[in-house]
Structure 1
Amino acid sequence: METLRHVVLLVHLIGFAVLFGSWAVQAFGGQKQFGKIMEYGLLIAGVAGLALAAPWGLPEGAEPNYMKIGTKLVILVAIGALVGSGLSRQKRGASVAPAVFWLVGILTVTNAAIALLWR
């Protein structure tokens, strides 16, 4: 079970990498727009994160940190709302507000930082 949990963790990290990587490409060399690939990264990270939140494959006596899981889920939903609204604006021909674009990157890094630093 522990090996399966590590595989799900790897998939979760790949989802984060797809989301943040596609955002970073746009932020530092693109047109500061949202792409469909960001939605896929968000979906991969979200589904794998929910699978990791289940209390299976944990070492004996370990309890999941539900406050951390809830915080990360709220941030994930906020990122999804921002990306979804940005893609919707782009479909109508409008541009994404710079604050919304940069907030997605900040929230994505914040979510990774919470995963790494919150024990």
Structure 2
Amino acid sequence: METLRHIVLFIHLIGFAVLFGAWAVQAFGGKREITRLMQIGVTIAAVAGLALAAPWGLPEDVKMNMMKIGTKLVILLIVAAFLGIGQARQRKSGAVPPVLFWGVGILTLVNAGIAVLW
């Protein structure tokens, strides 16, 4: 069961990598727009993160850090909202507001940092 948990953790980190990688390509070489790959990355990270938050496969004496899980979930929901709002604005006006675009990248880095360092 521990091996499966590690696989899900790996998939969770891949989701962040896809999201941040797609964002970085747009930030440093593209037109600074929201792409479908960013949406896919946040979805992968969210689904794998929710699977990790389930208490399956843990020994009985291990306590889950609910504060960390809650913080990461709130940040992920903000990133998903920024992506959704940014994509809607992009369709309407042709451009993503800079605050939303840069917020996606910064909050994704913060969320990945919390995953690794906390």
- Structure 1 letter corresponding to 2:108: T
TM-score normalized by the length of structure 1: 0.94
TM-score normalized by the length of structure 2: 0.95
Is 1:90 the equivalent of 2:106?
Answer: no
CA RMSD of aligned residues (A): 1.0
Aligned residues with identical type, % of pairs: 64
Show the counterpart of 1:44: 44
Show the counterpart of 1:70: 70
Secondary structure of 1:56 counterpart: coil
Unaligned 5+ segments in structure 2 are none
Show the counterpart of 1:54: 54
CA distance in 1, matches of 2:38, 2:57: 29
Show the counterpart of 1:14: 14
Aligned partners of 2:13 and 2:112 also within 8 Å: no
Q: Deviations over 1:86-113 (max 9, x none)?
A: 1111112331111211111000000011
- Structure 1 letter corresponding to 2:79: I
- Structure 1 letter corresponding to 2:20: F
Aligned partners of 1:55 and 1:63 also within 8 Å: no
Q: How many residues align?
A: 118
Secondary structure of 2:93 counterpart: coil
Show the counterpart of 2:26: 26
Is 93-102 or 66-75 further displaced after alignment? 93-102
Aligned partners of 1:15 and 1:43 also within 8 Å: yes
